Structure 1
């Protein structure tokens, strides 16, 4: 994965995770009385928020370290993005 490609991948993951980051887990809808986005457990919601912040940072970073790229690969696998 090249640095340029890594940043594009980080943008894709940040965009995907944004849907979880901006979902308010305390709001109940009239259609589904369960709170939150897809009724994620609190820890899963917090993990997605942390990952969103990391991916957004990588997307804007001028350079990614080898460790950043490895973490990005692991994040891609965690959320089912193809390798």
Structure 2
């Protein structure tokens, strides 16, 4: 039995572009209720992906701009 390939999560830019596409499609009002719900569900997942990427970027910026004289370099874990 072969294992299905694992898909890596989209980058921030990919997630944002897909989210914009979903919003455009929902605004067209041409989808069925079920299609709209599926698109909305996908959009929520993409929103969470974008939010997590932004939080990670914000944390990195805080670490890089820490100007306290006693500040020690911190290891930054990019994996959750």
- Sort the TM-score into its range (normalised by shorter chain): 0.3 to 0.5
Question: Of the two, which has the highest radius of gyration?
Answer: 2
Q: TM-score, normalised by structure 2?
A: 0.47
